[in-house]
Amino acid sequence: MKVALRLIFSLIAIVAIVAFSFSAWQAQQEELRLKNDLERRASIIAESLTMSVEPLLLMDETNYLQRIVDKFSNRERLVGIAVHDIRGTLIIASTDLQSLLRDSPKILASNIQEVERMNAQQGEFINLDNQNLHAYSVPLLNNEKATHVLTLFHDASYIQERVHRIWVNSFWRAGTQALLIAIVTAFLVYLNIMTPIRKTTEWIKKVRKGETSEKFDPQGQQLLGPLAKEITRMAKSLEMARLSAEEEARLRHTTDSRWTPERLKEFVRERLQGKPLFVVSNREPYMHIRKGKEIECIVPASGLVTAIEPVLKACGGTWIAQGSGSADRDTVDKDDKLKVPPEEPQYVLKRIWVDKKLEDGFYSGFSNEGLWPLCHIAHTRPIFREEDWAAYKTVNQKFATAALKELEGISEPNVLIQDYHFALIPEMIKSKRPDARVALFWHIPWPNPESFGICPWQREILQGMLGADIIGFHTQFHCNNFIESVDRFLESRIDYEHFTVNREGHTTWIKPFPISIDFNSSNDGSSEIKETKENLLKKYNIQSDYIGVGVDRLDYTKGIIERFRAVEHFLEKNPKYVGKFTFVELGAPSRTMIPKYKEFIDEVTQVTEEINGRFRTKNWQPILLLMKHHSHAEILPFYKFADVCLVTSLHDGMNLVAKEYISAKDNERGVLILSQFTGASRELTDAFIINPYDIGQTAEAIKQALELPLFEQEERMRRMRQRLQDHNIYRWASELVKELAQVRLENQKGGSGGMI
């Protein structure tokens, strides 16, 4: 309250000072204007009277002169007129002034002397019988010589009255403003500062006592600004620490092996013995973009970021990635580095700059027109160009050089390389730093040897990858394909029992690491669902009893066309669901600079319009295509309320959408329809597993899912949720770090290598 009073008094003082200064200036200007105006009017009257008075003085017409003087008195504040000779002797005056001027003969002495000396008009303000008057004197001439002085007396009291009125009005205006400011300020302080602070205090107190986990939405954030955000983060950290401690205590009590962020942190510190980790990926964990004059830091939607960042937060280190944000260059230091996360820096982000021409060949060309369709076997012809391969090698070398520079001075560093963009980096690093422990995780499928043989540079890619000590895939099936590809195309010694490849004295371990999600991220209260199932589609003018959902990048490997055709077939075979079932596709445009992706987006749009044209009614349509990048908060309501989720990838590494859908289903109702060609189908066996190419089978699975009894839905969902709780992202990260830490390094002269 003291702060509020100080604020109010300060504002009142400022208003008073401003009002006083402005009033003083206004009064001064008004007084000067009125005086100038009075003198101007006096000058005009004096000039007109001079023409009449001068001849009468020469003729000594005193009586007539008296009548003229009296006639002009008491007009427009003109009190009277007087005529003196040059020595100051009163000759004639208005009747009301005669006695006053005779009693004060010297009152105009200075004015008359100045008129005689300058032979010019002269005005001054005088006090005559307690009256404020303005005396304006002009010379009367005889033969071009001043012999008399004509003086006009104006009432000047109105000038002070006007100035006084200005001060009074300013006082009341300032007082009213101060009162209103005090009232409004007190109200705003209470509403936008005191109330949010009180609510924040109560919320933090509840969190400290463990009484609530509800979402905190600080009111008045516009006034509190960063303070409110920082309080939110601090209170959230306190709550998460408490929940983590409770979880750890419960796990110790039940001898459970569930992994948590805190457990991962301790595990990483112990296994890496305090040494930093170096991550190399094409995607950066934080991107800075320019919005008008402001710079905003965002987290790109990426399962890779979700998976890797907890490890770096635990052990520190450096994440080397391509800078792709419009303001990325403006936020790094001279070494192209910055500390992240912004609110609580725990590791370093090193940005690499790749020019447009190189990026087109490296990313759009070889990576996504060559390796991507090659590995996914999605019946899209891979395109391999010599110039794209050259760009791919150049960018890989650029990243490897940057990584090696970061490794300088660090003994036995740990390096984790991400995905198909950097198949050549492991060998580039290992050849320069044999003491480094290097792991490569391949986030997409690995094809069979026949398919992989299409690539003109299959040997170079395999040699580059085998520079790593560990190569990780999502499934054992992908590991098998990789080993067989090595056996087909390279001279090496393969141990099928331990799944190792020994080439030129270096051993590489090939292992499955099925990636997962942070199971609790959809249930931590950070994304409050304000909508209902009934209102979810109302904004699109759709009324539907049942909702299906798909969440994908608009990529030809995701089976989106096949999925839509299955919905069409389902409605054909089950007309009772026409008008009752709507499938919502949340599709994010991707790689639109590649012609195949542009064609695919056009095809998706065309098929959607065709199917909707067949079945659409006034307030319903079978397919709702929402084509944009959706945030987690936008996707979550669809996960929550969808009766069925379709994941129909034609080929996929893992597919985390399936796991995100299950995580969001805290009511344990809903059915997952899952492609047999996803890595997730090996784990989530309680989903309806389908062949996405079989349109009839997928349509039948939709019907069975919608008609599955609730108790069976809940039983299936409960088992899958339990699986995800036990095999979460922190467990995935711990297994990868554990294997990396167990690598036995070869000595400088070569050796067998292997695991400790």
Q: Rounded CA gap, 395 and 361, in Å?
A: 10
pLDDT of residue 37: 86
pLDDT above 60 for 756: no
Phi and psi torsions of 673, nearest 5°: -105, 120
How would residue 255 be classed by pLDDT, with cut points 50, 70 and 90? very low
For residues 243-251, average pLDDT:
60
In Å, the largest CA–CA distance within the chain is 145
Question: What is the SS3 assignment for 508-544?
Answer: EEEEECCCCCCHHHHCCCCCCCCCCHHHHCHHHCCCC
User: Between the CA of residue 98 and those of 29, 66, 439, 531, what are the distances in Å?
Assistant: 35, 11, 117, 94
**What's the pLDDT at 525?**
44
Q: Flag whether pLDDT at 208 surpasses 80.
A: no
Mean local confidence (pLDDT), 243-254: 57
Least confident of 86-90, 191-195, 587-591, 720-724: 191-195
> What is the chain's mean pLDDT, rounded?
85
Four-residue CA torsion sign, 144, 146, 152, 156? positive
Q: Which of 91-105, 115-129, 668-682 has the highest mean pLDDT?
A: 668-682
Higher pLDDT, 494 or 223: 494
The token pair that represents 488 in the structure block: 């087909």
pLDDT over 70 at 517, yes or no: yes
Task: Report how far residue 519's alpha carbon sits from residue 346's, in angstroms, rounded to the nearest whole number.
Answer: 23
CA distance 684 to 688: 9
Predicted confidence at residue 230, as pLDDT, reads 65
Residue-level pLDDT at 544: 94
Dist CA 160 CA 170 (whole Å): 15
Instruction: Give the DSSP letter of residue 590.
Output: -
Q: Which residue has the higher pLDDT, 61 or 360?
A: 360
CATH code of the region 528-726: 3.40.50.2000
In tens, the pLDDT along 404-454 reads 999 999 999 999 999 999 999 999 999 999 999 999 999 999 999 999 999
Give residue 362's pLDDT: 96
Statement: residue 253 has pLDDT above 60 = no
End-to-end CA distance of the chain: 65
Least confident range from 112-121, 221-230, 572-581: namely 221-230
| Lateral strand order in the sheet of 623-627 | 623-627, 581-588, 546-553, 644-647, 671-675, 688-690
Contacts of 433 (CB under 8 A, 6+ apart): 404, 407, 413
Indicate the pLDDT class of residue 563, thresholds 50, 70 and 90.
very high
Q: What is the pLDDT of residue 399?
A: 97
* Cα 555 to Cα 627: distance, rounded to the nearest angstrom: 12
The per-residue pLDDT for 280 is 96
Report the 10 Å Cβ neighbour count for 613.
9
The predicted model gives 187-216 an average pLDDT of: 67
What are phi and psi for residue 326, nearest 5 degrees?
A: -65, -20
Domain boundaries, the chain: 2-155, 162-242, 268-512, 528-726
- In DSSP notation, 105-116 reads TTTTHHHHHHHH
Structure confidence at residue 243 as a pLDDT band (50, 70, 90) = low
**Which among 216, 653, 607 is positioned nearest to 478, based on CA atoms?**
653
**How far is Cα 467 from Cα 426, in angstroms, rounded to an integer?**
5
Q: What per-residue confidence (pLDDT) applies to 203?
A: 66
Residue 147: pLDDT band by 50, 70, 90 thresholds? confident
Residue 246 has pLDDT above 80, yes or no: no
What local confidence, expressed as pLDDT, does residue 235 receive?
Answer: 65
Name the DSSP class of 331.
Answer: G
Residue 748: predicted pLDDT: 40
Residue 569: its pLDDT value, please? 97
Q: How far is 478 from 473, CA to CA, in rounded Å?
A: 6
Cα separation, 676 vs 363, whole angstroms: 29
| Contact criterion met (CB below 8 Å) for 231 and 218 | yes
String of DSSP letters for 266-301: HHHHHHHTT--EEEE-SS-S-EEEEETTEEEEE---
**Is residue 631 over pLDDT 90?**
no
Which class does domain 268-512 fall in?
alpha beta
- pLDDT value of residue 144: 72
Other Cβ atoms within 10 Å of 304 Cβ, number: 19
Interstrand relation of 294-298 and 287-291 (parallel, antiparallel or unpaired): antiparallel
Question: pLDDT at position 749, please?
Answer: 39
Given a contact cutoff of 8 angstroms between Cβ atoms, the answer to whether 119 and 139 are in contact is yes
- For 145, 430, 692, the CA distances from 113, given in Å and listed in that order, are 14, 109, 116
CB proximity list for 333: less than 8 A, separation 6 or greater: none
Report whether pLDDT(257) > 50.
yes
Arithmetic mean of pLDDT, 635-643: 94
Q: Range with the lowest mean pLDDT among 50-54, 208-212, 688-692, 741-745? A: 208-212
Burial class (CB in 10 A: 0-12, 13-18, 19+), 301: middle
Question: For residue 238, which of 274, 266, 200, 272 has the smallest C-alpha distance?
Answer: 200
Q: What is the pLDDT of residue 260?
A: 82
In this structure, are residues 664 and 637 in contact, taking their beta carbons and an 8 Å threshold? no
Token pair, residue 158, equals 């109105």
Listed ranges 165-174, 221-230, 482-491; the one with the highest mean pLDDT: 482-491
Residue 487 has a pLDDT of 96
Digit-coded pLDDT (tens) for 470-489: 999 999 999 999 999 999 99
Name the residue with higher pLDDT: 244 or 84.
Answer: 84
H helical segments located in 681-748: 695-707, 710-726, 729-741
Burial pattern 538-555, b for ≥16 Cβ within 10 A else e, equals eeeebebebbbbbbbbbb
Q: H-helix or E-strand containing 125?
A: strand 122-128
Residue 214, sorted as left (phi over 0), alpha (psi -120 to 50) or beta, turns out to be beta
Q: Are 678 and 665 in contact (CB under 8 A)?
A: no
Give the tokens for residue 448: 């069979």
Q: Please give the residue that has the higher pLDDT: either 105 or 699.
A: 699
Per-residue pLDDT at 273: 84
CATH number of the domain at 2-155, out of 3.60.20.10, 3.30.450.20, 3.40.50.300, 1.10.10.10?
3.30.450.20
Same fold, 268-512 and 528-726: yes
